[in-house]
Amino acid sequence: MSGGENAACRAVDTVAAWENVRWRLSWAAMGEIVISERLVEALTADRVRVVVLTGAGISAESGIPTFRSAGGWWKSYRPEDLATPEAFARDPKTVWEWYEHRRRIVGAAKPNSGHYELARWERHFEKFTLITQNVDGLHRRAGSTQPLELHGNIGLSICHRCRQSKENAGLGPDGSIPCCECGGLVRPAVVWFGEPLPPQTLQLAWDASERADAFLSVGTSSIVQPAADLARIAKQAGALLVEINPEETEMSYHFDEVLRGSAGVVLPAIGRRLGIKPDDHSLSDQVTESAGNHED
Ligand code: BJW
Ligand code: ZN
């Protein structure tokens, strides 16, 4: 096929893809979440491997601010002042104050119906991987037992120099920065820009994405790497790619299905369509209440 024909085919594909998306959007605008037959078929296939990647949007309905949408942290603060190793080296107190403030928000928050639905999915699907960019621990509190936390956990702390874990560390009442025996400063156990993700966790996420039959991207702007790449890996491997987000993202066009709505509404709607029983989730928040990562 000539280059010109290739371009023409791509143009037709583009129009068809946008028609598809527009059709879905028009339903969403009418307040109805349309779960396509294609998605139902994919999720009910024998031994289907389901991967879900979540971002800050799934916790928005729990009252935790996102980073980039309306009211998000990066609308009022610069990431380079709060979420880089350079910022911590320059002004550890300001960085700690931001994280202490966020720890208080997370501590007061409760998982929402989106988190609980995904905990049910873990029990429902034989092969299910939950990957999250969130550091708030709400998936565990909702009952998910093995979320792959790509960006760490805000409730935990480590030494910035020797990486040793530290129990219950935080800013002192006088504003002093917690210190390690090695002389290094203690910091929240999260991944900042320019830092590598925990290699084992990333590898597990990568492997699961490579093997996924259905990959659902929930409440993320799909901007931050390498997390955003997982959808691309899944697509290359032939997975059905689904985006759940009330807003369009820079990556929306690459998804096979776009469900415009909040995670707390759309995920349970999918669950109902699949016949996944809404069980009593009042237990799980009590069982895994601690901010720690591996309590179960
Ligand atoms: C709803 C909703 C509702 C609202 N329901 N949805 C290639 C090109 C350019 C740069 C890079 C590149 N590769 C790597 C980089 C650098 C960088 C990067 O990606 N930069 C981009 C900004 C371009 N990446 C890194 O530095 C990463 N490290 C790395 O690559 O290391 C390499 C290395 C190897 C070896 C040695 C050394 C280095 C690290 C990334 C760390 C990200 N950290 C943060 C903050 C720290 C944790 C914390 O304090 O919480 O993680 S940044 C912030 O963004 C946070 C999030 O986890 C992450 C993703 O954000 P997310 O979840 O998508 O949130 P939002 O706000 O963006 O989107 C929310 C969405 O929800 C919106 O779309 C809403 O519409 C939606 N929504 N309500 C459903 N009810
Ligand atoms: Zn140390």
242 and 123 assigned to the same domain:
yes
Cα–Cα distance between 52 and 44 in angstroms, integer?
15
Q: What SS3 class is residue 97?
A: helix
**pLDDT tens by residue, 72-84:** 999 999 999 999 9
Give the Å distance between the CA of 136 and the centre of ligand 2: 24
Q: What SS3 class is residue 132?
A: strand
Query: Which residue has its alpha carbon closest to ligand 1 atom 72?
Result: 221
* CA 225 to ligand 1: nearest atom: 19
Higher pLDDT, 6 or 164: 164
Q: Could you please report the per-residue DSSP string of 32-60?
A: -----HHHHHHHHSTT-EEEEEE-THHHH
CATH number, domain containing residue 264: 3.40.50.1220
Q: Could you please report the per-residue DSSP string of 189-252?
A: EEPPTTSPPPHHHHHHHHHHHHH-SEEEEES--S-STTTTHHHHHHHHTT-EEEEE-SS--TTG
Mutate to test the pocket of ligand 1, among 193, 195, 217 (most ligand atoms within 8 A of CB): 193
Asked whether 118 and 102 are in contact (CB, 8 A), the reply is: no
Q: Could you please report the per-residue DSSP string of 8-41?
A: HHHHHHHHHHHHHHHHHHHHHHTT-----HHHHH
| Residue 279 domain flag | yes
Burial 40-61 (b: 16+ CB within 10 A, else e): eebbeeeebbbbbbbbbbbbbb
pLDDT at 280 over 60: no
169 and 50 assigned to the same domain:
no
**Would you state the pLDDT for residue 32?**
78
264 and 183 assigned to the same domain:
no
Mean pLDDT of 209-235: 98
Higher pLDDT, 281 or 114: 114
pLDDT at 7 over 50: no
Average pLDDT over all residues of the chain: 88
Mutate to test the pocket of ligand 1, among 54, 59, 64, 67 (most ligand atoms within 8 A of CB): 67
pLDDT at 294 over 50: no
145 and 287 assigned to the same domain:
yes
Nearest to 95 by CA among 69, 121, 77: 77
127 and 259 assigned to the same domain:
yes
204 and 167 assigned to the same domain:
no
Give the Å distance between the CA of 201 and the centre of ligand 2: 22
Q: What SS3 class is residue 168?
A: coil
The two three-digit tokens of residue 272, written as one number: 């109902």
Cα–Cα distance between 159 and 151 in angstroms, integer?
16
The two three-digit tokens of residue 268, written as one number: 């349970």
| Residue 5 domain flag | no
Mean pLDDT of 209-219: 98
**pLDDT tens by residue, 134-143:** 999 999 999 9
267 and 140 assigned to the same domain:
yes
Give the Å distance between the CA of 224 and the centre of ligand 1: 3
Give the Å distance between the CA of 173 and the centre of ligand 1: 31
The two three-digit tokens of residue 44, written as one number: 């009910």
* CA 220 to ligand 1: nearest atom: 63
Asked whether 188 and 171 are in contact (CB, 8 A), the reply is: no
| Residue 241 domain flag | yes
The two three-digit tokens of residue 16, written as one number: 């068809």
| Residue 8 domain flag | no
147 and 205 assigned to the same domain:
yes
Q: Structural domain of residue 183, as residue ranges?
A: 65-108+152-190
Provide the whole-model pTM. Answer: 0.89
Cα–Cα distance between 69 and 84 in angstroms, integer?
20
Final residue belonging to a domain, choices 190, 207, 239: 190
Measured N-to-C along each axis, helices 263-274 and 113-124 cross at an angle, to the nearest 10 degrees, of 30
* Residues having CB within 6 Å of any atom of ligand 1: 55-58, 60-61, 66-69, 72, 83, 133, 135, 151, 190-196, 219-221, 223-226, 245-247, 249, 262-263
Number of domains in the chain: 2
Give the residue numbers annotated as catalytic, written as ranges: 151
Give the Å distance between the CA of 206 and the centre of ligand 2: 30
**pLDDT tens by residue, 166-182:** 999 999 999 999 999 99
233 and 296 assigned to the same domain:
yes
